[in-house]
Amino acid sequence: MNLMKSRLFAMIGAIIAAVALMAAGAGSAAAAPKTGEMFLTFVRHGESAGNSSGLIDTSIPGPGLTEKGWVQAVAVAELLDDCKFDGIYASRMVRTQQTAEPTSKLCGRSTVVEEGLHEIEAGIYEGTPEKDAREGYMAAPIQWLQGNLDARIPGSINGHEFKKRMDDSIQDIQDRGSKRAVIFSHGGAIMFWALMSVSNPDMSKLQSDPLHNTGRVVVKGTPAKGWKLVSWDGHSAG
């Protein structure tokens, strides 16, 4: 009788252990899979001296922020104050790095400068009025959205070259391990890269909701599998 009880208790113990092991395994399985999906929040820089002049300025490192631009930079940091991201990135241009500063300080993260996130180079249109951009500076990028990536801004880049440098920097961001990155970049660069890259582009945004200073675009996806537009808010943060 004692032998039967011992065997029964041993069997029960084995079953309990097996159930516990399965439960532990299920918990690990739920936590372990990693899709690699990224959420990228693009932020246009605050108002720069170039913006206030009304002239196109895509030079590197370019002008810094105006007093209004610094106010906008603080305002966008307040929008990002939950700090639910794992990397802060900016272009080589001074105005994006300055716009990132308040967010960097608030969240205790340094800003990483990425080579390819700068503004679309204006070529022969450098220094021309921003109000004439659609017929000049932006004429080729608009063709990129229509599928003609061979179109070149005179004295500057074509669509293939622009997209590659942006894609290369985003790949680098992924390689650094960032899955929820904030990227401080430029109006043209953000809008055209997003509309060229996402599977659900809304081309009307260029006219109905263009990115003002500190406007924001969020996309999700991966460099390998592609991107989807999550949100687009062209309004200034401040």
Q: Catalytic residue numbers?
A: 45, 119
Bridge partner list, 218: 41, 231
What the block records as the tokens of 165 is 């440098």
95 phi and psi angles, rounded to 5 deg? -65, -35
Alpha-carbon span 136 to 146, nearest angstrom: 17
d(CA 172, CA 141): 24
C-alpha to C-alpha distance for 159 and 24, rounded to whole angstroms: 50
Q: What is the largest CA-CA distance in the chain?
A: 99
Residue 38: partners with Cβ closer than 8 Å, 6 or more residues away: 173, 174, 178, 179, 180, 181, 220, 221, 222
Is the Cβ–Cβ distance between 69 and 98 less than 8 Å? yes
Half-sphere exposure of 196 (CA within 13 A, CB side): 23
Residue whose token pair is 């106010």: 71
